[in-house]
């Protein structure tokens, strides 16, 4: 396939189409609306189902129902819309049906704004719906990766009968980059042996998240956790840049990761031995690799477009063995590379010990920055 100049949202939609998605349900919300809009044109063209629901709550429950038929199904939304879907996601997890959800994150909390953000990390990776379940969460940093991870998301959802979230942000959704689309897969004709598609001539099947008897519910929970163990064993993904001889490591995912890449290159040009670790699977999280990196580098800098949500996972992985520093922008602000470069320089040239609480020390530094910005307004 030749390289095409593709907008993230549309590329994700077409990737879903080529992965054989049979039904899409959604509700418009910036900055992911082009994804839904593209589907509204493309799905009927192929004789597949596109449905704009009356709300995100309706959309996720339509996805839930369609997933029970064993069809490949997806939805997409952005932060506040995804918050509305949380109940449905928990039901989907409790029913053990495969679903792909795209979250193109924007500034929050609340209605917030439509600028790129990574404020949904905790909502998606660590929580959201009630109960013991873990979605697989994949974080693209480019249009190409958004395409590849969307296709992968469908395969993983099927393999583990789980929810897979592609966690992008407004930047990935709105950006155009050259990328290659995958070949078109055939729509499936064979359905899994749990799917409910009409029971004529066989014993009926029942899909539900209701287990009135707690002992039976506990068995379900155990099964979900067994599957999660398999996922943790098999599905860790990350990318490393310039880490071979690094004394310092920057850790960032998605857009924050690629902004950090520019900063790391600039720091390398100044002779600072720094590399970048970019987690791609946020759930399961690459704890073991980060733990190993803590034996190599002197300091890690976590950078996110939030107030340090992934920071806590890095701290868990490193367990106080080396200092961890943090730099974040919040509320829909995207950092420029020079901000992260300044942090790398500060760390590499620091003569004083680092604060034990990276978030508190970042907030002190950040107060000065916010003061300067307010002064300019």
Partner 1 sequence: MQIEVVIAGFGGQGVLFAGQVLAYAAMDNNMEVTWIPSYGPEMRGGTANCTVILGDEAIGSPLVRNPKAAIVLNLPSLEKYESLVVPGGALVANASLINRSPQRTDINSVFIPANEIAESLGDRRLTNMVALGALLTLLPVLPLQAIEQALRDHLPERHRRLLPVNYEALKQGAIFAERESIEISG
Strand 23-26 relative to strand 49-52, pairing: parallel
227: exposed, middle or buried (Cβ count in 10 Å: 0-12, 13-18, 19+)? middle
Q: Does residue 138 contact residue 166 with C-beta atoms inside 8 Å?
A: yes
Q: Does residue 311 contact residue 324 with C-beta atoms inside 8 Å?
A: yes
- Written in H, E and C, the secondary structure of 140-154 is CCCHHHHHHHHHHHH
Q: Which is nearer to partner 1, 231 or 259 (CB)?
A: 259
Least spacing, CB of residue 222 vs partner 1, in Å: 43
Look at the chain and count its residues: 377
Q: Which is nearer to partner 1, 47 or 375 (CB)?
A: 375
Q: Which is nearer to partner 1, 42 or 161 (CB)?
A: 42
- H-only helix segments in 112-245: 121, 143-160, 170-174, 214-234
Least spacing, CB of residue 4 vs partner 1, in Å: 8
Least spacing, CB of residue 260 vs partner 1, in Å: 8
Q: Which DSSP string corresponds to 90-109?
A: HHHHHHT--EEEEEEEBS-S
Q: CA-CA distance, 170 to 316, in Å (whole number)? A: 28
Q: Which is nearer to partner 1, 85 or 341 (CB)?
A: 341
Least spacing, CB of residue 56 vs partner 1, in Å: 20
Q: Which DSSP string corresponds to 36-103?
A: HHHHHHHHHHTT-EEEE-SSHHHHHHHHHHHHTTT--EEEEE-HHHHHHTHHHHHHHHHHT--EEEEE
Q: Which is nearer to partner 1, 177 or 217 (CB)?
A: 177
Q: Does residue 63 contact residue 88 with C-beta atoms inside 8 Å?
A: yes
Q: CA-CA distance, 162 to 303, in Å (whole number)? A: 29
Which residues sit at the interface with partner 1, rule CB under 8 A? 3, 5, 30-31, 114-115, 142, 170-171, 174-178, 258-263, 265, 334, 336-338
Structure tokens belonging to residue 79: 């932060």
Least spacing, CB of residue 235 vs partner 1, in Å: 24
Least spacing, CB of residue 333 vs partner 1, in Å: 11
Least spacing, CB of residue 334 vs partner 1, in Å: 6
Q: CA-CA distance, 12 to 78, in Å (whole number)? A: 14
Q: Does residue 119 contact residue 330 with C-beta atoms inside 8 Å?
A: yes
Q: Which is nearer to partner 1, 154 or 248 (CB)?
A: 248
Q: Which is nearer to partner 1, 62 or 259 (CB)?
A: 259
Answer whether the bond into residue 284 is a cis peptide, omega within 30°.
yes
Least spacing, CB of residue 52 vs partner 1, in Å: 21
Least spacing, CB of residue 254 vs partner 1, in Å: 12
Q: Which is nearer to partner 1, 23 or 344 (CB)?
A: 344
């Amino acid at each position: 396939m030749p390289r095409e100049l593709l907008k993230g949202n549309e590329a994700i939609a077409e990737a879903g189409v080529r992965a054989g998605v049979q039904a899409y349900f959604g509700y418009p919300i910036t900055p992911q609306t082009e994804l839904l809009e593209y589907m509204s044109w493309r799905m009927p063209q192929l004789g597949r189902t596109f449905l704009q629901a009356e709300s995100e709550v309706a959309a996720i429950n339509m996805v839930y129902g369609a997933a029970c038929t064993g069809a490949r199904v997806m939805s997409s939304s952005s932060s506040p819309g995804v918050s509305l879907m949380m109940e449905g996601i928990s039901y989907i997890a409790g029913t053990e049906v495969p679903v792909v959800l795209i979250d193109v994150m924007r500034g929050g909390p609340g209605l917030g704004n439509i600028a790129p953000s990574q404020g949904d990390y905790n909502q998606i990776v660590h929580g959201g719906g009630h109960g013991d379940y873990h979605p697989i969460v994949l974080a693209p940093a480019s249009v190409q990766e958004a395409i590849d991870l969307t296709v992968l998301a469908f395969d993983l959802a099927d393999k583990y009968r789980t929810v897979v979230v592609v966690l992008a942000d407004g930047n990935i959704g709105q950006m155009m980059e050259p990328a290659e689309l995958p070949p078109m897969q055939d729509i499936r004709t064979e359905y899994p042996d749990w799917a409910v598609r009409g029971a004529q001539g066989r014993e009926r099947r029942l899909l539900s998240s209701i287990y009135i008897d707690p002992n039976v519910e506990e068995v379900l929970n155990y099964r979900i956790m067994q599957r999660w163990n398999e996922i943790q064993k098999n599905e860790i993904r990350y990318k490393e840049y310039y880490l071979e001889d690094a004394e310092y490591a920057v850790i960032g995912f998605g857009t924050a990761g690629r902004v950090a890449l520019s900063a790391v290159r600039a720091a390398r040009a100044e002779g600072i031995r720094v590399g970048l670790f970019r987690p791609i699977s946020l759930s399961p999280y690459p704890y073991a690799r980060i733990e190993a990196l803590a034996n190599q580098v002197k300091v890690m800098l976590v950078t996110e477009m939030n107030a340090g949500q992934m920071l806590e996972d890095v701290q868990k992985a490193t367990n106080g063995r080396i200092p961890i520093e943090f730099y974040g922008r919040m509320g829909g602000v995207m950092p420029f590379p020079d901000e992260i470069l300044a942090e790398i320089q500060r760390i590499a040239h620091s003569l004083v010990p680092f604060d034990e609480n990276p978030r508190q020390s970042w907030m002190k530094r950040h107060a000065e920055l916010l003061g300067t910005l307010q002064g300019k307004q």
